Chain A
Amino acid sequence: MSPDYNPHDPGAPLDPLPGHSSRGRLERVLRRGEFAVTAELNPPDSANPQDVYERAAIFDGWVDGINAVDASGANCHMSSVGICALLTRMGYAPIMQIACRDKNRIAIQGDVLGASAMGVQNVMCLTGDGVQAGDQPGAKPVFDLDCMSLLETVRIMRDNSKFLSGRKLTTPPQVFLGAAINPFAPPYDFRPYRLAKKIEAGAQFVQSQYCFDVPMFREYMKKVRDLGLNEKCFILVGVGPMASAKTARWIRSNVPGIHIPDSIITRLEGAQDQKKEGKQLCIDIINEVKEIEGVSGVHVMAYRQEEYVAEIVHESGVLKGRQPWKRETLPTDALVASRMEHIREGKEENQQEMAGAAAHHPH
């Protein structure tokens, strides 16, 4: 078993491991066979970095990856690239989501390089919701790539060290590639094959849409195992607490792609404290799905209820037997530290002199 810190120098970045495509912790946790836990950060509508750090602190240390969403639901928020830049700086492990709705292939490939340079180890490729779903329905839907060709594009960048055009990269982005699955939307019998397609395109882990119908998910997983897909990719099940039966009913009729069976709503309605019942329901679903063969973790989406994620994860006991870990540094951290020292020393910069020195610099 390999520790999650560099044995030669605990302050250095993680060593690349054979067979691993990233240096991130999420990939290590999954490849070791531990039950992974990821969560979603609710992106702020502000330019204040503190908002991001406050929201990330809720997950500090015990979540294996924090999804930085890319304008989910086509609503405008702080960009996923920006959130990732802030998070990696503080040693968090973000999963950067890229949606094809807003960016064409030129912008996306640039963002992947930039993200990887900032220390992002996990990239999640999505199609994205339609613009009509969001707060600015008059926007131009881009959809230049789709999730499949996006996966393939990033895989080509990483493995072949090339842009989509064939132009060479000097340093390829070392990222762990993710995708999304929704076993709960028609055409149901095509869904497992679609996962197979995503794996062929480059997906190494997938996070699913909210799972409220465990029998249906079991059926899907049976087909997935028959196709041997659970051995080629790590499957994280999307779960989350429902605040009330009213919310559940609203989501069911207004958010396409989320399937909530009647039994769930009846159970919530019958409870004295619906919020508490919603949390318990989430824990029950985690306990059921973690026993399904081929499930490697959970992705907890608790929109506006992020503070309950800790309770849900702790009470379901999925982190049992986890080894402690240490935060890794970024390759650029030493550089930043030395620059910070200069700043702290309060050294004055004399522009004229410096330009003179630079002008006489041999080149």
Chain B
Amino acid sequence: MAEPKAAGAAEAKIVKGNAAAAAKAATGAFTPSGVSPSRRSRHKYTVRLWAVRNSRFLEWFYNRFADMFLLLHPLWKAIGYSRVERPVTFVERHVKGFLFDCRMCGQCALSSTGMSCPMNCPKQLRNGPCGGVRANGNCEVEPDMPCVWVQAWKGSQNMTKGDAILNVQKPVNQSLRETSSWLRVTAEAAARREAQAKENQA
């Protein structure tokens, strides 16, 4: 069953990182620049890596920020959560997009992933690195990108609640895409607080 010819053909195949585009370019066919299996928003990862290095500060900052958002719950409620959704989503998309290359999955896991957004992984893994991480710590799909999960593990080491990386994450709810994670977390925390208050009264 051994087919040395076929094996030889496989060896001759040009595999340079993003195999598809490189192979196509080698034939001389038109290849748009920056072809990527995972939609790439940026060609440099400086800000994203800065966020991982400063994961402890960002964790501290986010905790204050979440508290503030919860304090503003009466305001959100008065205006109506559905009405503030659009402007808050706009701000969230741009702030988190700049800091983390956020993909707006709507169910942010940054606190459990060392401030490295798991949706930037071409396989969108939310529970740890795949087996294909290169020896230099880069991604198998995007050879120039540092593996999101190698970074996540680094970032989580600096965080006070870094152990959250060991929790099994639920699958992404695709229907929450492009919605605000901040508002959802706030609304849920407020609902929990109210339920708690009711329980204490009873």
Asked if A148 and B169 make an inter-chain contact with CB atoms under 8 angstroms apart, the answer reads: yes
| Also in contact, A146 and B132, with CB within 8 A (given A187-B153, A257-B140) | no
Asked if B131 and A182 make an inter-chain contact with CB atoms under 8 angstroms apart, the answer reads: yes
Q: Which residues of chain A are within 8 angstroms of B20 by Cβ–Cβ distance?
A: 132, 137-138
Asked if A257 and B168 make an inter-chain contact with CB atoms under 8 angstroms apart, the answer reads: no
Asked if B128 and A185 make an inter-chain contact with CB atoms under 8 angstroms apart, the answer reads: no
Asked if B37 and A147 make an inter-chain contact with CB atoms under 8 angstroms apart, the answer reads: no
Answer yes or no: B122 CB below 8 A from chain A CBs: yes
Q: Which residues of chain A are within 8 angstroms of B1 by Cβ–Cβ distance?
A: 42, 55, 304, 306-307
| Also in contact, A146 and B125, with CB within 8 A (given A186-B137, A187-B137) | yes
* Segment of B11-19, B69-77, B186-194 in the binding face: B11-19
Asked if A209 and B131 make an inter-chain contact with CB atoms under 8 angstroms apart, the answer reads: yes
Chain B binding surface, main DSSP class? loop
Flag A275-307 by CB within 8 Å of B: 1 or 0 each: 000000000000000000000000000001111
> Once bound together, how far apart are the Cα atoms of A361 and B3, in whole Å?
58
Asked if B140 and A144 make an inter-chain contact with CB atoms under 8 angstroms apart, the answer reads: no
Which of B15, B150, B169 interacts with A187 by CB under 8 Å?
Answer: B150
Asked if B153 and A148 make an inter-chain contact with CB atoms under 8 angstroms apart, the answer reads: no
B18 nearest CB neighbor, chain A only: A132
Q: Which residues of chain B are within 8 angstroms of A259 by Cβ–Cβ distance?
A: 135
Asked if B168 and A152 make an inter-chain contact with CB atoms under 8 angstroms apart, the answer reads: yes
Answer yes or no: B133 CB below 8 A from chain A CBs: yes
Interface size class of B (residues with CB under 8 A): 35 or more
Answer yes or no: A309 CB below 8 A from chain B CBs: no
Answer yes or no: B202 CB below 8 A from chain A CBs: no
Which of A137, A196, A306 interacts with B19 by CB under 8 Å?
Answer: A137
Asked if B123 and A146 make an inter-chain contact with CB atoms under 8 angstroms apart, the answer reads: yes
> Once bound together, how far apart are the Cα atoms of A243 and B19, in whole Å?
24
Asked if A105 and B171 make an inter-chain contact with CB atoms under 8 angstroms apart, the answer reads: yes
Answer yes or no: A254 CB below 8 A from chain B CBs: yes
For chain B, residues 7 to 65, give those with C-beta under 8 angstroms from any C-beta of chain A.
7, 11, 15, 18-20, 37-38
> Once bound together, how far apart are the Cα atoms of A158 and B115, in whole Å?
34
Shortest distance in angstroms between A237's beta carbon and chain B's nearest beta carbon? 14
> Once bound together, how far apart are the Cα atoms of A201 and B147, in whole Å?
23
B7 nearest CB neighbor, chain A only: A304
Asked if B15 and A254 make an inter-chain contact with CB atoms under 8 angstroms apart, the answer reads: yes
Which of B7, B11, B127, B141 interacts with A130 by CB under 8 Å?
Answer: B141
Q: Which residues of chain B are within 8 angstroms of A217 by Cβ–Cβ distance?
A: none
Answer yes or no: B2 CB below 8 A from chain A CBs: yes
Asked if B128 and A141 make an inter-chain contact with CB atoms under 8 angstroms apart, the answer reads: no
Answer yes or no: A194 CB below 8 A from chain B CBs: yes
Binding site for A on B (CB under 8 A): 1-3, 7, 11, 15, 18-20, 37-38, 122-135, 137, 140-141, 147, 149-150, 153-154, 165-166, 168-172, 174
Contacts A132-B122, A137-B19, A190-B153 known; 6 new A-B pairs at CB < 8 A:
A100-B123, A138-B20, A149-B127, A149-B170, A257-B132, A304-B1
